[in-house]
Amino acid sequence: MSETDTSRPASAPALPKVLAFDVFGTVVDWHGSIVREVSALRLPVDPGQFAIAWRAGYRPAMARVRGGELGWTKIDDLHRMILDDILVKFGLEDMDEAMRRHLNLVWHRLDPWPDAVEGLRRLKSKFTLCTLSNGNLGLLADMAKRAGLPWDLILSAEVFRHYKPDPEAYLGVCEVFDVAPAEMMLVAAHQDDLAAARACGCRAAYVERRFEFGPTLPKDVSPDPANDWHATDFLDLARQLGC
Q: Are 92 and 133 in contact (CB under 8 A)?
A: no
Characterize the bridge pairing of strands 18-21 and 28-29.
Answer: unpaired
**What pLDDT score does 66 carry?**
87
Nearest Cα neighbor of 187 from 199, 176, 198 is: 198
CB atoms within 10 A of CB 17: 16
Cα angle vertex 24, ends 22, 25, to 5°? 95
**What pLDDT score does 5 carry?**
45
Gap between the Cα atoms of 186 and 182, Å rounded: 10
Gap between the Cα atoms of 86 and 89, Å rounded: 5
**What pLDDT score does 12 carry?**
62
**What pLDDT score does 11 carry?**
57
**What pLDDT score does 2 carry?**
38
Residue ranges for the chain with pLDDT beneath 50: 1-6, 8
Gap between the Cα atoms of 158 and 162, Å rounded: 7
Classify 139 as helix, strand or coil. Answer: helix
Nearest Cα neighbor of 115 from 239, 236, 241 is: 236
Gap between the Cα atoms of 87 and 80, Å rounded: 10
**What pLDDT score does 31 carry?**
98
Alpha helices in 148-190 (DSSP H): 157-160, 167-177
Structure confidence by residue, pLDDT tens digits, 182-231: 999 999 999 999 999 999 999 999 999 999 999 999 999 999 999 999 99
Gap between the Cα atoms of 82 and 70, Å rounded: 14
**What pLDDT score does 91 carry?**
96
Gap between the Cα atoms of 183 and 174, Å rounded: 8
CB atoms within 10 A of CB 232: 19
Backbone angles phi, psi at 71, to 5 degrees: -70, 180
Cis-peptide into 165, omega within 30 deg:
yes
Delineate the domains of the chain, giving CATH numbers in brackets: 18-29+110-240 (3.40.50.1000), 30-108 (1.10.150.240)
